[in-house]
């Protein structure tokens, strides 16, 4: 079990749930980092007494430095601060739960510093692709999945057969708040409706990704990278109750699944205690109480992001970074009321159609693909409103 954590994104949904696990297991926190929520960060500093607190927003970093002068916690700001927290010498595990592409450089920095990583930041694996997985292999560090589906697959693969008999991965999807809706019905949905997720309590960005099913598309890419499996051997099944978190199928058609109540503290804790298991703050699963589990084919005609992500994965190069960057921009524009819900999928698809794909030799190439995609989306939206 890891005992000294660095938590990037400590004030977010995953970060605060990770601190519940820290409380339950009596672990210590060496470093924490947040985007800008310094009020909550200050409370965390006073409770966990980390040696370092990083704030991405430089002004907020200065403010926090002033507010916690009476403590022994050092404060660092900006991307440099995030990188310092990612490589902090006192931490034996870095939990990266920042939202979006901004997590890429901290992940790579932690890997270079030979830190094992609990990864909740799927965007960096989607966008960074082989740059990340190659660095992980080269430095001999562990990349432990925190995403519930990938934690499930990771658990199902424990004790896998030695003869490479893995046939396919099956990701479950809740279907989000708009399961069963037609494109016509989704034309005018509001941000509030899209944020109303049936099963999981998550941050705003990922909840919108769940409503468009972009989240599941990103997870197909994430699974392909984490488990080195081609996209055509990764299936998605809609499972409304979110009790089965994902499955693997072997060559003998035996299917192994991982189940539990939908609560992120289980996969967070497993990444921290791996390969051991301990009591958790999460409730027991009662299958009899749930009664029935249901399954459906995903509707790829309505939720076009699923196919866009599969296509990006097959295209190779920086296509997955383009799909991710376009989505981050479109997701944010939707949340700010600038575009309609269905436009998110159209913009992701359009970015893949319009931007010339290329191979990524470095992080800068990935960042360039990301900014080309964001620019494409901003240009489309500007054009549409004129």
CB of 264 to Mg ion, least distance (A): 9
**Contact call for residue 249 and Mg ion (CB under 5 A):** no
Number of residues that bind Mg ion (CB under 5 A): 3
CA-atom Rg of the chain in angstroms: 20
- Verify binding: residue 123, Mg ion, rule CB under 5 A: no
Residue 209 binds Mg ion (CB under 5 A): no
Residue 14 phi, psi dihedral angles, 5° rounding: -70, -40
Q: Of the two residues 53 and 99, which places its CB atom closer to Mg ion in the complex?
A: 99
Least separation, in Å, of the C-beta of 323 and Mg ion?
17
- At CA 141, angle to CA 137 and CA 146, rounded to 5? 105
Q: Where do we find the tokens 């097959």?
A: 314
Q: Which one, 245 or 374, has the nearer CB to Mg ion? A: 245
Give every strand in the sheet of 255-259, ordered side by side.
Answer: 255-259, 244-250, 166-173, 234-239, 295-296
Q: Which is nearer to Mg ion, 44 or 207 (CB)?
A: 207
Residue 24 to residue 361: CA distance in whole angstroms: 42
Half-sphere exposure of 333 toward its Cβ, with a 13 Å CA cutoff? 26
Minimum gap (Å) between residue 325 Cβ and Mg ion: 20
Residue 109 or residue 173: which is nearer to Mg ion going by CB? 173
Q: What is the DSSP string of 102-151?
A: GGHHHHHHHHHTT-EEEE--HHHHHHHTHHHHHHHHHHT--EEE-SHHHH
Which one, 149 or 343, has the nearer CB to Mg ion? 149
Q: Which of 147, 209, 299, 370 binds Mg ion (CB under 5 A)?
A: 147
Identify which range of 42-50, 140-148, 170-178, 276-284 contacts Mg ion by CB under 5 A.
140-148
User: Residue 115 or 197: which CB sits closer to Mg ion?
Assistant: 197
Task: Output 11 or 246, the one with its CB closest to Mg ion.
Answer: 246
Residue 361 to residue 96: CA distance in whole angstroms: 23
Least distance between Mg ion and beta carbon 167 (Å)? 22
* Rounded Cα distance, 8 and 29, in Å: 11
Which one, 87 or 242, has the nearer CB to Mg ion?
A: 242
For the bound state, the minimum distance from the C-beta of residue 149 to Mg ion, rounded and expressed in Å, comes to: 5
Of 144-152, 227-235, 281-289, 348-356, which segment contacts Mg ion by CB under 5 A?
144-152
Beta carbon of residue 208, minimum distance to Mg ion (angstroms, whole number):
14
DSSP state of 357: P
Instruction: From 110-118, 148-156, 332-340, 358-366, give the range in contact with Mg ion by CB under 5 A.
Output: 148-156
Query: Which residue is listed with tokens 């009664």?
Result: 291
Nearest distance, CB of residue 241 and Mg ion, angstroms: 15
For residue 303, the minimal CB distance to Mg ion (Å) is 15
Stretch that binds Mg ion, among 14-22, 76-84, 143-151, 367-375 (CB under 5 A): 143-151
Give 196 or 357: the residue with its C-beta nearer to Mg ion: 196
Q: Which stretch binds Mg ion (CB under 5 A): 132-140, 145-153, 162-170, 250-258?
A: 145-153
Which residue's C-beta sits nearest to Mg ion? 147
| 337 half-sphere exposure, CB direction, 13 A CA radius | 1
**Rounded least distance, CB 98 to Mg ion, Å:** 16
How far is Cα of residue 142 from the mean position of the Cα atoms in its chain? Answer: 17
> Which spans of this chain sit near Mg ion (rule: CB under 5 A)?
147-149
């Amino acid at each position: 079990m890891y005992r000294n954590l660095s938590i990037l994104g400590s004030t977010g949904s995953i970060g605060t749930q990770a601190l519940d696990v820290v409380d339950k297991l009596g672990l210590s926190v060496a470093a924490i980092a947040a985007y800008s929520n310094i009020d909550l960060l200050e409370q965390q500093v006073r409770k966990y007494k980390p040696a370092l607190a990083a704030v991405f927003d430089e002004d907020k970093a200065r403010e926090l430095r002033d507010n916690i002068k009476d403590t022994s916690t050092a404060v660092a700001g900006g991307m440099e601060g995030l990188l310092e927290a990612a490589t902090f010498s006192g931490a034996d595990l870095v939990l990266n739960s920042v939202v979006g592409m901004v997590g890429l450089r901290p992940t790579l920095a932690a890997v270079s510093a030979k830190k094992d990583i609990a990864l909740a930041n799927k965007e960096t694996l989607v966008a960074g692709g082989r740059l990340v997985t190659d660095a992980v292999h080269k430095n001999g560090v562990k990349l432990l999945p925190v995403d519930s589906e990938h934690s499930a697959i990771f658990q199902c693969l424990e004790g896998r057969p030695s003869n490479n008999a893995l046939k396919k991965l099956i990701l479950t999807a809740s279907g989000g708040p708009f399961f069963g809706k037609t494109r016509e019905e989704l034309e005018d949905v509001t941000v509030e409706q899209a944020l109303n997720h049936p099963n999981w309590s998550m941050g705003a960005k990922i909840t919108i990704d769940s409503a468009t099913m972009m989240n599941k598309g990103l997870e197909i890419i994430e699974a392909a990278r984490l488990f080195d499996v081609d996209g055509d051997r990764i299936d998605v099944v809609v499972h409304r109750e979110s009790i089965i978190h994902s499955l693997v199928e072997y060559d003998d058609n035996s299917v192994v699944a991982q189940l539990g109540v939908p609560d992120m503290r289980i996969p967070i804790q497993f990444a921290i205690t791996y390969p051991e298991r301990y009591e958790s703050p999460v409730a027991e699963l009662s299958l009899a109480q749930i009664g029935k589990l249901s399954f459906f084919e995903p509707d790829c005609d309505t939720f076009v992001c699923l196919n866009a992500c599969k296509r990006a994965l097959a295209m190779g190069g920086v296509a997955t970074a383009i799909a991710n960057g376009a989505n981050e921009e479109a997701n944010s524009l939707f949340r700010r009321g600038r575009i309609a819900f269905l436009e998110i999928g159209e913009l992701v698809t359009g970015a893949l159609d319009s931007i010339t794909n290329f191979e990524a030799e470095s992080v800068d190439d990935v960042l360039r693909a990301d900014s080309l995609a964001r620019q494409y989306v901003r240009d489309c939206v500007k054009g549409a409103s004129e």
